Amino acid sequence: MDGNKKKGLQLSEQGRLTLWMFGLLIIVLIVLAIVQPAFLTQGNLRNVVNQNAVLVIVSMSVTMLMITGNFDLSIGGIIGMGGVLCAWFCQSVPQGGAGLPYGVAFVLSLLACTGIGWLNGFLTMRLGVASVIATLGTMSIARGIAYIGASGSMVELGVPDVFKVVGRQEFGSFLTLPFVIMVIIVIAFFFVETKTVFGQKIYLIGANIKAAQLSGVKVRKQINTLFILSGLLSGLAGIILASKLGAGDCKVGLEYEFNAVVAIILGGTSIAGGRGTVIGTVIGVFIIGMISNTLNLFGASTEWQPIVKGLVIVGAILFQRFAMGFGDRHKLRLEAA
Amino acid sequence: MHSIQGQSWRSVVKNVYVFGILAIFFIVFTAINPKFIAGPSLSFIIQTVAPLLVVSLPATLLMISGNIDLSVGSILAFSGVIMATLSKGGMAAWEAVLIAAVLGLGVGWINGLLVSHLKITSVIATLVMNYVLLGVAKILTGDTIPYVKGVQSDFNVIGRGKVGGLPVATFFILAAIIIFIVLQKKSVLGKYSFAIGGNRDASILSGINAGRLVWLLYVITGAAAAVGGCLSASKMGVADATSGAGFELDVIIAILIGGTSFAGGEGSVIRSIVGAFIVSVLTIGLNMAGVESFYQYVVKGAVLIAAVYLDKIIKEKVST
């Protein structure tokens, strides 16, 4: 087995798939612009870009987890919990909150969310619970904490004005703070994925966990870190969403685990692990985001969205099989020649 | 390697500890609220456990084969909505249940198609199905909540009615118990489920059509979830598109607390029956103790994790 050759081959496959997906993004963009003229207006594009920033943020670490072969179903629950806790911590005391300064509330809420992420890592890596089961459990726990914190509805009154900054701050006429945060996080994850040993090890673990272990990768530590990051980013996403809304709503973040999975798979990450890129996920989020946006423009009720997404995801999986299969056949022919 | 004596000791502990957990829950809830032991009549417990039990048993076989179905909650809600719609149209309840079951069967068939034929990981395939079906249920109900008005009077019969003093739900429970114990112990499907979950490749090499059997298990689970949905909607008298939220968690807790391994190859329908009762007693007990429903999310999440951990400890202790 020639290690170098194998690696080179894997990268090129991945690159090709990302390219395919980027092409798909452009095609979707063009098609939508033709069928729905309202799509290409500046105001609408601004919506698409800014509305999907939060999903990109949470999907980054989940992509890496999926590459290692693990799921994180708890992100939606953590998003709800992060927003509610942050709102509750800085809500004034007469309104039933903790009355802490916003900065403290922000940090405490992120710490709590990171704690859930740590618990995910602990359950999966230490106790050997399958990640699906562990994160299903913590999803319920985090959602429960959100419900308790908001007494089943919202933390709204007596929240300081600064609470609304992180989700609503604008730069110029197009950019918002969530989008800027998204760009920074994507760059950071892209750097980690492509330029660091940490990133390389993620692919190793996903391709063959035993081989990774034998070659000295600290699998447990690696995956723990990813779960913790996932908790942190979900918390951040929750705070941004709550800030946009101006309140901590315990029902925010439902379906996020589904949306993240759709975007990640659409972005070319293998459901079996070992393959995928964060840039692909960004593309996936925006393909889905543009499609949902156009459905909205056409006035379709939001209930149709999961149905469309379901079809898209199954289509994407089949399409990727075809694309990869095509590549394999092509390669076989090359080798035979 | 276990001696034969070790094996039987192991299986005794594994089969008995679930009853212990059930007993502990009973004692704890009675201690918190003395009314608990007298309060919920047996028929109330039976009516509560019925939907969960009917779904947990086929889902156990599915998990033994190494697969999971996260869409049961949505199938439950969807079929409740279907039953209510048909009932509204003037159809007799039993016909509505039959049609809902056939639709559930169809959903299970699609799950099986995605998992067995298109080879999409079961977690992802059924997660997607869960949200797709939730969307369908929401489209069907629109903004009408609660979604049962002017339905046939027999709508409530299967969930709440009684025949000769016994809740009608009892017959569904008994039927499910008999069918799935026989399936597990006596049928090829049951035996092969263990083989597939234990080592899928080996089972295929030894001539088992693993894909086809898993597909069949999804179909059965889908139909059972639909029947469960009818029981649940009929009991509550309300069909709500969101009523299935968290149901998959209950099912998974019931299965895992019964010691069935998530990885497959190991498990028991009988212990899942006890598991389903444990979850129902937990729910009823928390309600009676006056615990707000918000806290139940936290408690159930914790119970799920505790169940998995307990199972791991028991397996380690017993096998050494």
Partners of residue B166 on adjacent β-strands: B163
Structure confidence by residue, pLDDT tens digits, B62-81:
999 999 999 999 999 999 99
Rounded Cα–Cα distance for residues B110 and B123 (Å): 14
CATH of the domain at B111: 1.10.3470
Tell me, what's the pLDDT at A101?
A: 92
Partners of residue B162 on adjacent β-strands: B167
- Unique residue bearing structure tokens 């101006």: A246
Tell me, what's the pLDDT at B314?
A: 78
Rounded Cα–Cα distance for residues B163 and A98 (Å): 55
| Minimal-distance CA residue of chain B relative to A306 | B132
Whether residue B28 lies inside any domain: the answer is no
> Residue B119 — very low, low, confident or very high, per pLDDT cuts 50/70/90?
confident
| Residue range of the domain that includes B279 | 41-319
Rounded Cα–Cα distance for residues A252 and A58 (Å): 14
Question: What is the per-residue DSSP string for A230-262?
Answer: HHHHHHHHHHHHHHHHTSEETTTTTTHHHHHHH
Interface contact B127-A136, CB threshold 8 A: no
Interface contact B135-A306, CB threshold 8 A: yes
The predicted model gives B142-152 an average pLDDT of 63
In chain A, what residues touch B295 (CB-CB under 8 Å)? 144, 148
Tell me, what's the pLDDT at B18?
A: 82
Interface contact A303-B138, CB threshold 8 A: yes
- Its pTM stands at 0.89
Tell me, what's the pLDDT at B4?
A: 53
B24-28 CB contacts, 8 Å cutoff, 24+ apart: B25/B278, B25/B281, B25/B282, B25/B285, B26/B281, B28/B285
Whether residue B93 lies inside any domain: the answer is yes
Find, among B184, B257, B258, B213, the residue nearest to B116 by Cα. Answer: B213
| Minimal-distance CA residue of chain A relative to B299 | A141
The top-scoring range by mean pLDDT among A127-131, A186-190, B43-47, B256-260 is: A186-190
Chain A window 318-337: which residues touch B at a Cβ cutoff of 8 Å? Answer: 318
Structure confidence by residue, pLDDT tens digits, B203-253:
999 889 999 999 999 999 999 999 999 999 988 888 888 888 889 999 999
What are the mean pLDDT values of chain A's consecutive 10-residue runs (337 residues total)? 45 73 88 86 87 94 94 95 95 87 95 97 91 94 94 87 89 87 96 92 90 90 96 97 93 91 89 86 93 87 87 86 63 48
In chain A, what residues touch B124 (CB-CB under 8 Å)? 261, 265, 271, 313
Interface contact B128-A132, CB threshold 8 A: no
Interface contact B312-A151, CB threshold 8 A: no
| Residue range of the domain that includes A144 | 3-336
Closest partner residue to A133 (CB to CB) among B114, B124, B304 is B304
CB A182 within 8 A of CB A57: yes
In chain A, what residues touch B301 (CB-CB under 8 Å)? 136-142, 144
> Residue B2 — very low, low, confident or very high, per pLDDT cuts 50/70/90?
very low
Tell me, what's the pLDDT at A112?
A: 97
Tell me, what's the pLDDT at B40?
A: 61
The predicted model gives B131-152 an average pLDDT of 77
Partners of residue A154 on adjacent β-strands: A249
In chain B, what residues touch A145 (CB-CB under 8 Å)? 298
- Unique residue bearing structure tokens 């615990």: B291
Whether residue B78 lies inside any domain: the answer is yes
Interface contact B305-A123, CB threshold 8 A: yes
Provide the domain count of chain B.
1
Whether residue B92 lies inside any domain: the answer is yes
CA end-to-end distance (rounded Å), chain B:
10
- The interface pTM score, or ipTM, of the predicted complex is 0.87
CA A85 vs CA A78, A82, A103, A136, A263: distances in Å: 10, 5, 13, 20, 27
| Minimal-distance CA residue of chain A relative to B303 | A137
CATH of the domain at A206: 1.10.3470.10
Whether residue B294 lies inside any domain: the answer is yes
Provide the domain count of chain A.
1
Interface contact A140-B263, CB threshold 8 A: no
Interface contact A144-B295, CB threshold 8 A: yes
